[in-house]
Amino acid sequence: MQCASFNKICTGEQTIDGYPFTHLPIVERLFQNWQNTLGPAAEAYRNHVYRVFNLTRCLCPDLTDTEQRLLEVAAACHDVGIWLDGSFDYLTPSADRASAWLSRHPDLTGLSLEEEQRQVRRIIHDHHKVRPSSDRLANAFRKADWADVTGLYRLAGLPGVELRELLRQFPLLRFRRMLLGLAVAHARRHPRSPLPMLRW
């Protein structure tokens, strides 16, 4: 799998059928299960999931169907432990939920369950790495999540027209402010471990 730059997508060197993706069946199935527990955070987190998925697809336009399905699972689950498990040390809880969902859906891809879980857990566990991930899809997801959380889309090379359309389809809904509030609250309770999700 080759991961490209945003610039290649937007200059026509590579295109992605269906971009931006506005209905992801696996994401929607997962959010139906989580809606009540996520409560007021549901729409803001769902929009974040869609933005990060689309940004990752811009970076990796040549995904196989199998890779795209696993990316949907990882994108939906990557932060969900914050709310479903009530933890700001949420990478492992989020990955565990993704693994459990995969075990209940054995026909998702042609891969073994162990390989599906390995790939999805890698994406989730690496998305807060300070250094690049050695896995191309995981690293593209890491960059996409960083761009969306910080708002530094232009540094990732996303032109204004694509950014405006993505934000029109999936507005921020104060997602960054919500994350900041959660981070501050956690840091006050755990001053020696203010950002437990970061990985080197």
Is residue 200 in a domain? Answer: no
- CB count in 10 Å sphere of residue 155: 11
Is residue 26 in a domain? Answer: yes
Residue corresponding to tokens 């590579």: 14
Q: Are 58 and 154 in contact (CB under 8 A)?
A: no
Q: How many domains does the chain have?
A: 1
CA distance 139 to 113: 22
What pLDDT was estimated at residue 186?
58
Is residue 196 in a domain? Answer: no
- Which residues, 6+ apart, have CB-to-CB distance to 172 below 8 Å? 44, 47
Query: Which has the closest alpha carbon to 135: 179, 74, 83?
Result: 74
What pLDDT was estimated at residue 195?
61
Query: The CATH number of the domain where 109 resides is what?
Result: 1.10.3210
Average pLDDT on 44-57 reads 96
Q: What is the Cα Rg of the chain in Å?
A: 16
| Comparison of pLDDT for 33 and 6, the residue scoring more | 33
Q: Which range of residues forms the domain containing residue 57?
A: 6-189
Is residue 1 in a domain? Answer: no
Half-sphere exposure of 75 (CA within 13 A, CB side): 32
Is residue 194 in a domain? Answer: no
pLDDT in tens, 177-186: 888 777 677 5
CA distance 98 to 80: 10
Q: Are 55 and 148 in contact (CB under 8 A)?
A: yes
- CB count in 10 Å sphere of residue 169: 14
Average pLDDT on 88-99 reads 95
Is residue 198 in a domain? Answer: no
